[in-house]
Amino acid sequence: MGRRLLGWCADWARERGASRLVLDTHGALTAARALYLSAGFVEVERYNDNPHAQHWYALTLA
């Protein structure tokens, strides 16, 4: 279900002209982190001040 939701979000963003998706997550959420990486997201530098986030990701949209 998570992979389908990520795909829907990417399609929605592309249709609206976005060139990149970004997200963050807590380090303890290992399944989420694995999902993001397997979906093509790459780890990037911190881009927000979310006190609960320990990992930041981005996906370039074609």
Tell me: the pLDDT tens digits for 8-45?
999 999 999 999 999 999 999 999 999 999 999 999 99
pTM: predicted TM-score of the whole model, two decimal places: 0.89
pLDDT at 59: 98
**Residue 58 near residue 41, CB atoms below 8 Å:** yes
Strand partners, 24: 56
